[in-house]
Each structure stands twice: as structure tokens, then as C-alpha cells.
Amino acid sequence: MAAGLVISAPASGVGKTTLTLALARAWRHRGLNVQCFKSGPDYIDPAFHAAATGRASVNVDSWAMERGTIAHLVSSGADADIVLAEGSMGLFDGVAARGVSGTGATADIAEMLGWPVLLVIDPSGQAQTAAAIAAGLRDYRPGVRLAGVVLNRVASPRHEDLVRRALADAGIAVFGALPRHAEISLPKRHLGLVQAEEQAEIGKLIDEAARFVAEHVDLEAVLRSAASWSPQPAASGPKLVPPGQRIALARDAAFSFVYPHMLEAWRAAGAEILPFSPLADEVPDASADVCWLPGGYPELHAGRIASSARFRSSLRAFAETRSVHGECGGYMVLGTALTDADGVRHEMTGLLGLETSFAKRRMHLGYRLATLAAPMPGYRTSARLRGHEFHYSTILAQPDTPLAVVHDATGAVVAETGSHRGHVSGTFFHLIAEDR
């Protein structure tokens, strides 16, 4: 029987991902089978999880997914010795209005699965107050159980002692304390960490993190704090219709944001996925009946995309008779032009009139509930879709017909409607699940 544990914190940037990777690799070095999951709409962390464990990591999301879907997804860890669910933001951070089975908070997943929470606390600039924060998180919501704490970035032995004493007085276990250690910092960019596949030395970095954490954290005590768990037998899989039978899927450093649960749902429905690389000037498979361009970092590769003449011309020919859909970055590439952060304008495929700019940056972030005003691959008009939007691009022009009426999690109308023209459609939100 597997044991489950949620890794969370009071806020973002405290060290959840680093600790998750380090624990996973350290236990793997000791012969344990480790499975990771990610709470919330994050494309980047699961790839790091896979690098640390050798097993695919999947997102679970209480705002967008039914409880049965979440139970089904985590059941892939039933054969593991230890299952780690890494949280997003702070433990109780979610949206104001409840979604399908929660607000998207990590605490929803902890309570739903009955897994205790290992808190990462950064006591920089404080001492005993760190214990008050931990105690507040422990007592905030009945049904969410605290396993204990790992301190991160402690300044000195004296600092550590002060915090440990206060936590002991509050009845909170401390499994370890990590001094500052620059060698295990993960590089970042505007949408989060630099992707695992772009870091040639990621294996060595995770190994160093595992060595460092094993030196300062009681791994056996952490393991004992996890809850025994077995999956629910009647859980249902993700509810996502494949956009076609044979799906040409753009996959490379510019088009990497694809949820594993979406690919699983497509394959489970009998669809075949045919990956190709626009950055390598590859073209959609001629036998495909639909082409899907996911999000990623086209703004970092706009020059190469603009110079990939074979890809651009073949996609235009493909779209004359078959459906093409783009999400976020993929949507931008379907447009007329993309202006990069340096103000250089790059010609895109021109299948839509959309023009976007990263020179005029503005963050767009949040859950999205879309009602389709026109069909898109896999879905008819009036279908309701749940997704998430996160990008910094500014729309300069969006002349085509809107694809959907889009609301945020509070019900407010969102201006980023997506658009469609002929066989081509695109959205700024990334699809997570159908809304049924």
C-alpha cells in the first residue's frame, strides 16, 4: 500500500519544488518507488517531477475536476511506495468562488485524499513568528492535517534553534532545517522555472538537492508521517473529447505546455497522437485529421518560427481542408504577427488575424470558464469548457469572430475570447476539463 503526503507552504517561492524533487530523488536512491503529482494548473513542475522519479507526473485540480477524476488520476501512484503531491502557491490559496470540487487550493487535495501536509517554512527575517504561521495553517481548516515542517534558508544555528523551540512549544514536528545553498537554485523566467528539458544538468542538480536534503532532513521521519493510502476502485477518468482520430501535435521547446491527463484522455478514447516540431521546420503528418498547437514559449523562439517556411506553408495548406487549433502560445503562432520583448515584429502563420506583443507586457492569470460560440475541434457550439490562462502578451489586433464567451472564476466576463476563421480556431486559455 502506498503512502501519501502533500508538500505545501504559506506562499509561493518558499522552496516547495526543490524539496519535492530532493525528497523524491533521495528516496529513489534508497530503492523506493516514488510518484509525484502537482496540485493546480502548472505545466512546468510535473516535468521536473518526472526527471526526479522516472515516472510521469500529472496535474490534479479541484476547481476544474470532479472528485472521481482526481481519484482516477492519482490512482496511477497505487504501485508506488510514496506519493508526493506538490502544492501551488500557499496551502489555502484558491479562487473566491468554488468550482467543480473546490477552489483550486492545495488544501482541497489534501482533505480529499486524506494526505497530511508537510509544510516548507522560510523563516527569513523572523524567528518565533514562523511557529505562529505554522500553527495558524495547522488550525485554519478542519480536515487538513499537518504532518510537520521543514525549515528552509535558515540563517544560522542560533536562528534555527529559536525557530525549533517555538515550533516545539506549538506541538509541531520539525523534520529538518536547510541552510541557504545557492547550488540547488532552479533558474526562472517569466512563466516560472526554466523547463526541465532545457536544462542539460538537471539530473546533477536534483542529485545535489537530494544529497543536501538527506544531510539536513530526517527522511525516515518524513516517510513515517505520510498516510497509508489506496485508490478508490470506482474512479472515472478525465472527461475530454479528442479533437480528432489522428492528432498532429506540435511538441518542442516552443510548444511544450500539454497536460498529461489530456493526452491520456485522448489516447483512452482511441486517438493517435503524431508529434512534430515546428522549430525543426517539421510539418503536420499528412494522415492527420486535426492539428493542435499547444502553448509554450513562442516569444523566445519567434525568429525561428518565422524562418520555418516549410512549417508555415504546410500548416496553411493543412488548414484549407482540416481543423487547426491553438492554445495560448499556439494561438499566437496562428496569428499574423508576434512582437518579441525587444520590439521586433515576427511574421507568424497568418491563419488568423491575431497580433500580439511581448514588448507591451501585461499579466493575464486565472481560471476560465468558456461557453463556445462556435465549434472547435472535439466540441460543438455551446459546449462549456474549464481552463486556465497565464501569459504576458498584449493583444494588438484580434479581428476574427470570437470563439467563446469567457468568464473568470468569479463570473466576470474576460476580454480574451479566442477567435476562429474557417477551419482554424484558438484560445488564450488552456483546456483542463469539460464542464458537465
- Which positions are catalytic? 328
Write the burial class of residue 341 (CB in 10 Å: 0-12 exposed, 13-18 middle, 19+ buried).
middle
Single out the residue of 183, 186, 174 nearest to residue 212, CA to CA.
Answer: 183
Is residue 225 within 8 A of residue 116, CB to CB? The reply is yes
Which helix (H) or strand (E) element contains residue 46? helix 44-53
Q: Is 431 left (phi over 0), alpha (psi -120 to 50) or beta?
A: beta
Distance from C-alpha of 312 to C-alpha of 308, rounded to nearest angstrom = 6
Is residue 180 within 8 A of residue 152, CB to CB? The reply is no
Helix axes 16-29, 44-53, angle to 10 degrees: 20
Single out the residue of 20, 94, 34, 16 nearest to residue 61, CA to CA.
Answer: 94
Is residue 85 within 8 A of residue 36, CB to CB? The reply is yes
Is residue 305 within 8 A of residue 333, CB to CB? The reply is yes
What the block records as the C-alpha cell of 306 is: 518565422
Which helix (H) or strand (E) element contains residue 250? strand 246-250
Distance from C-alpha of 192 to C-alpha of 94, rounded to nearest angstrom = 18
- Three-state SS at 356: strand
Contacts of 44 (CB under 8 A, 6+ apart): 191, 192, 193, 195, 196
Distance from C-alpha of 429 to C-alpha of 58, rounded to nearest angstrom = 19
